[in-house]
Structure 1
Amino acid sequence: MNADRIDVHQHMIPPVYRDALRRHGITAPGGRDLPDWSPDSALSLMTTARIGSAILSVSTPGTTFLTDPAEATTLAQALNDYSSEISAAHPGQLGFMATLPMPDVRASRLEAERALDTLGADGVVLLGNSAGVYLGAEGQDELFRALDDRCAVVLVHPADLPGEPVPGILPFAADFLLDTTRAAYLLVRNGIRRRYPNIKFILSHGGGFVPYAAHRLALTIFSETGVSPADLIDEFAGFYFDTALSSSASALPSLLSFARPGHVLYGSDWPFAPDPAVLYFGGGLDAYAGLDDAQRRAVERVNALTLFPRFGAAPAIAPSTPMLNRVRSTIRRQAFRGIARAIGPRA
């Protein structure tokens, strides 16, 4: 088997970040104890899991645990400077998604520009919600314009839900999936996907609930806005989706049948997903009978090269074709036509 997977969802815990979390009493973000991490341990895991290149990102809570916006910006800058150095030291193996000090939109726009234009970031990571402010909410256009101008890749990573957690349910187990879905819903409902078509959004963990609830979500948005539900489904399917903790035999069929061809990408979620989990879900991708060798190769590497061509030669022929996309869109439109007439937009 090829040992050159491109991992679009792998985390890092820089020393400055670990120290900042500990000073604020945060030892188990998302309900998981903060794992050990170093560039060497990342490279070791990559060898074991047949990962040739990994795009590193800081996980939740990002900088949102800092209530002083200036302090959050300073930490984001330090994280991105560190990430740029690590990436430069391991060209072709390690890249990074820049951390932005959300929910401060202006500071995030400035840091996105610095990271993408100067530091060589491969994209940015944005949490589903930052201190309760959801991605896709009103007032974020300044940031989205800058990202759209740069055709940026955005990894949408979940965070703890606003409000108190439910006793006995660790946030990463179920709440994270809802957080991603809420953000995706707002990005579609509030027109972000239509106004800023050059941004490539990757939804973590198979998109949360999106592939399984997209028709319900689309009909709800249609009832509120009057936008064609078939168009809305196309927008949801047009997200990119990573397979982190989501490449099981039960999840893959829905994800692969829903996502636009070429939009499913390999992700590990290491080190928050420990080595055995990475190997288990990676093995699930290997064993899934619904993929032939070419399709599996596309998920593991080829699809990612359309977003991150610096990690290898981009494919000469895209995994999807305009004709296939038109057929899929036509089927969706026909299925929704009668439902849309029956429901109608909300007055």
Structure 2
Amino acid sequence: MSRGWIDVHHHAYHPPLIAELRRRGVTHMAPGVPLPAWTATEALRVMDGSGIRAAVLSVLLPGDALQQDVAPLVRDINTWSAEVVREHPGRFAALASLPLPDVEASLAEIEYALDVLGLDGVVLSTSLPDGRYLGDPAFDRVFAELNDRGAVVFVHPNPSSRCSCAGGPGFASAVPPPLVDFVMDTARAVANMLFGGTLSRNPDIRFILAHAGGVVPFLSWRLELAGTWVLPDAGVDVPGELRRLYYETAQSASPATLACLREVTGDRNILFGTDYPFMNDTVVAATRRHLEDVAGLDLTGNALALFPRLAGGTDARQRGAADAAHL
């Protein structure tokens, strides 16, 4: 790790975004999770204190924020992220938010965010406020466009996720959604994309799963066995599809989780992530300590393969200048 750590799971809730969300009556991302305070200055302080050279910014919106004027808000988010990247070349990359479920607006935003703003991929919520998951056929055109571009797609739990299948009344107040529902939401999205064909139809998308894929690595053989009983005609190469995905380590860097994950995917597909600022600087540092002595993992090299902007030096400065020219 002599080249410095690269955090691929870092949420940049820009101050004007927080102000706009509060104007819309949104004060929490999820039960028990208030809107986070974030500034580039504070983020860099935490990064420098933990030996993190660079971070990939992303923004997820809770369902309550998506009820009005979504496309203009998403455009503002992506513009703010591009400005941070431009102002700090080599320290930040950024993923574009999309105004799903509006497919036409999402296609337009992909073109603008990647071609004009020069962002580094997109971030998608595992599920949508209307209950649909990413494997819904309505979103095939979005994934086809991202596949044509060979885009990086960070798949993150829906901040508004609430599992209604178990727990009963009061479950979410006793066990807030980030503890259980979020990781289950990721597993549902992956299974939906596996058995609905989204993954196999889009082999050139580099998918990154938040939180080591939630419970996906633990369930991998169970998913594979679907072809022997409940989905005998699925014809899905479950081990192959899961192996090619990327998995980041936010809240998932324990030895037990890593051992399970390394059974499912190769060491080149594991990335360093922290979930800052939802995870504070103490957790950020602990995540790094869990990983720094793990043999065989080049987490920095893995991240640079997806985000070459962060390689530093002349290329980063030139990319920053190019971004500035676009804005």
1:311 corresponds to 2:310 = yes
Q: Pick which of 120-129 and 304-313 moved more.
A: 304-313
For 2:113, the aligned partner's letter is A
Counterpart pick for 2:195 among 184, 189, 193: 189
Shift of 1:162: 4.5
CA distance in 2, matches of 1:44, 1:15: 17
Partner of 1:156: 155
Counting aligned pairs with the same residue, the percent is 38
Q: How does 1:1-347 map to 2 (within 5 A)?
A: 2=2, 4-30=4-30, 31-61=32-62, 65-68=65-68, 71-131=69-129, 132-159=131-158, 160-162=160-162, 166-220=172-226, 223-224=230-231, 226-228=233-235, 231-287=237-293, 291-292=294-295, 295-296=296-297, 298-299=298-299, 301-312=300-311
CA distance in 1, matches of 2:225, 2:256: 25
CA distance in 1, matches of 2:85, 2:77: 12
CA distance in 1, matches of 2:64, 2:288: 31
Q: Is the 8 A contact 2:60 2:97 kept in 1?
A: no
What does the per-residue CA deviation read over 1:52-104, in whole Å, with 9 as the maximum and x for residues that have no partner? 1111001342x762223xx0000000011111111111111111110111111
For structure 2, the residue ranges without an aligned partner over 5 or more in a row are: 165-170, 313-327
CA distance in 2, matches of 1:13, 1:245: 19
Q: Is the 8 A contact 1:124 1:153 kept in 2?
A: yes
Q: Secondary structure at the match of 2:138?
A: coil
Shift of 1:309: 1.7
For 1:58, the aligned partner's letter is V
Q: Secondary structure at the match of 2:267?
A: coil
TM-score (ref. length: structure 2):
0.87
For 2:231, the aligned partner's letter is E
Shift of 1:173: 1.0
For 2:216, the aligned partner's letter is V
For 2:36, the aligned partner's letter is P
Over 3 Å counting, the alpha-carbon distance change for 1:258 and 1:24 in structure 2 is same
The count of aligned residue pairs is 302
CA distance in 2, matches of 1:54, 1:12: 10
- Which structure has the higher relative contact order (CA within 8 Å, separation 6+)? 2
Shift of 1:133: 2.1
Shift of 1:218: 2.4
For 1:260, the aligned partner's letter is G
Shift of 1:228: 4.3
Q: Is the 8 A contact 1:3 1:47 kept in 2?
A: no
CA distance in 1, matches of 2:163, 2:213: 22
Q: Secondary structure at the match of 1:37?
A: coil
Q: Is the 8 A contact 1:60 1:157 kept in 2?
A: no
For 1:27, the aligned partner's letter is T
What does the per-residue CA deviation read over 1:180-232, in whole Å, with 9 as the maximum and x for residues that have no partner? 11111111111111111111110000100010001112222564262446x21
Partner of 2:315: none
CA distance in 1, matches of 2:120, 2:163: 32
Q: Is the 8 A contact 1:247 1:281 kept in 2?
A: yes
For 1:41, the aligned partner's letter is E
CA distance in 2, matches of 1:182, 1:65: 23
CA distance in 1, matches of 2:161, 2:106: 21
CA distance in 1, matches of 2:288, 2:27: 28
Q: Secondary structure at the match of 1:140?
A: helix
TM-score (ref. length: structure 1):
0.82
CA distance in 2, matches of 1:64, 1:167: 18
